[in-house]
Amino acid sequence: MKKVLFLLLLVLTPALLFSHGNAEQVMQESSFYQATDANSRTLKLAQKPTTVLIAGKAGNMPANALFLFPEVAGMDLTLPKTDQGLGDFFSFIRPELDQKPRLSQTASVEEIASRKADLVLTKATHFESIARKLDVLGIPNYTMNLESYADWIGELEQLGKLLQNTVRSGEIISLYEKRMQPIRENAKAIPTAQQVKVLLLQGDRTDNTFSYKIAPDDWMQTWMVETVGAQPVWKGANKAANGWSTISFEQIAAWNPDLIILVSYKDPAQAYVDAIYSSPIWAQLDAVRNQKVLSGPHDMMSYLQPVASWIVGLQWLGKTIYPEQYQSLDMPSEVASFYRDFYQLSDADKLEELVALYTASVSGNTK
């Protein structure tokens, strides 16, 4: 009986492998460009999208994903404002984008429809305000969430299907996994009792008044701290759950974290670090006394947010929190290789500039 089963496996295995490969080939050669978006809608296009518009707030996130694919080079793109106060990454690598006016992040559905794009990309959070209304008008649109690691992996796979380039989506996912593996291994080696208590804050400023916010439990920032084997002390405190929530100093003092990391999506975070160090109120915290208040890394975008460079931010977190476990990790090299591998950027001057921006963003952390 065992011999019969063994012979059947010998016969069936090549057939199964061929079947899988044949299915992949059929998908690639299909006359349709088809995928399921973040709102579980299946979009089916008869032709490759060549005129693409990205609409709504947080448009830098779907733009980040789209720019990972070589097809973007041949697209006529309309982007919303994507500059977070640090420079515009997309026009940096594709200067001709500056020749076309950016779409307002609050553009009406009528204005979006008037652009007559083959495809409109938007965040899943804009489903009711944009996507559903575009459906009524018959405008092909596709939503992406991209708020978590699982979102990035799953939605890159679907975007590869929509562009009929699952080979490239597979490459990107493999690149993420290759960088993730040592981080997971290092995190396993850290006993719970030895985990560093980390507080990641988004700085905000109105006139001369500074305030600080914490992320929801299920957002990328919380996941990143946990993934490197540290404790996000704010977990469970954001009751809003759908966005950043302002936190009081009294609560921060009660947590008394070992390390505080500042991020900003409007301007350089160093201003918030400086404000904390100059405050006599904050001086009572262990992190302030021990010079453990740091600016998060960025070039033209912060790495500590759910854009494609989150993986570089994760590497930086690991090396910053547990330097002994990441002694061989050279961050400038990782930044350069990220843009070469993920964005296929080969221009030496542009790579050098991105690395220089990263280096400058964290230079104040060593003072």
Q: What is the CATH number of the domain that holds 341?
A: 3.40.50.1980
pLDDT single digits (tens) 329-365? 999 999 999 999 999 999 999 999 999 999 999 999 9
| The model scores a pTM over 0.75 | yes
Structural domain includes residue 355: yes
Please say if the pLDDT value at position 249 is more than 80.
yes
pLDDT single digits (tens) 96-117? 998 888 999 999 999 999 999 9
Which residues are within 8 A (CB) of 117 and not within 5 positions of it... i.e. 6 or more apart? Answer: 49, 51, 52, 53, 78, 139, 140
Q: Which of 116, 144, 161 is the last residue of a domain?
A: 161
Instruction: List the alpha helices (DSSP H) in the chain.
Output: 2-29, 60-66, 89-93, 109-114, 132-137, 149-162, 166-188, 220-227, 249-255, 270-277, 286-289, 310-321, 331-342, 348-362
Helix (H) or strand (E) holding 120: strand 119-123
Q: Are residues 90 and 224 in the same domain?
A: no
Provide the number of structural domains found in the chain.
2
Secondary structure (DSSP) of 31-49: S-EEEE-TTSPEEEESS--
Q: Are residues 222 and 305 in the same domain?
A: yes
Structural domain includes residue 166: no
Q: Are residues 239 and 292 in the same domain?
A: yes
State which residues form the domain around 47. Answer: 29-161
The SS3 assignment for 53 reads strand
Which residues are within 8 A (CB) of 212 and not within 5 positions of it... i.e. 6 or more apart? Answer: 201, 202, 203, 204, 246, 247, 252, 272
Q: Are residues 128 and 255 in the same domain?
A: no
Q: Which of 121, 139, 161 is the last residue of a domain?
A: 161
Q: Are residues 144 and 47 in the same domain?
A: yes
Q: Are residues 200 and 336 in the same domain?
A: yes
Which residues are within 8 A (CB) of 163 and not within 5 positions of it... i.e. 6 or more apart? Answer: 33, 48, 49, 69, 71
pLDDT value at residue 244? 93
Please say if the pLDDT value at position 310 is more than 50.
yes
- Tokens representing 260 are 């505080």
Reported as a pLDDT band with limits 50, 70 and 90, residue 157 is very high
The SS3 assignment for 305 reads coil
Region 269-273: mean pLDDT is 94
Instruction: Confirm if 99 and 113 have CB atoms less than 8 A apart.
Output: no
Q: Are residues 93 and 214 in the same domain?
A: no
Q: Rounded to an integer, what distance in angstroms lies between the CA atom of residue 172 and that of residue 71? A: 14
> Which residue shows structure tokens 């088809």?
34
**Least confident stretch, 3-7, 157-161, 196-200, 265-269:** 3-7
- Tokens representing 294 are 């740091």
Q: Are residues 218 and 361 in the same domain?
A: yes
Q: Are residues 291 and 340 in the same domain?
A: yes
Structural domain includes residue 7: no
Q: Are residues 217 and 141 in the same domain?
A: no
Q: Are residues 293 and 246 in the same domain?
A: yes
- Name the nearest CA neighbour of 129 among 114, 116, 110, 149: 110
* Cα of 144 vs its chain's centroid, Å: 12
Structural domain includes residue 14: no
Instruction: Confirm if 56 and 123 have CB atoms less than 8 A apart.
Output: yes
Structural domain includes residue 9: no
Q: Which of 145, 161, 177 is the last residue of a domain?
A: 161
The total number of residues shown for the chain amounts to 367
Q: Are residues 155 and 293 in the same domain?
A: no
Structural domain includes residue 177: no
Structural domain includes residue 196: yes
Structural domain includes residue 122: yes
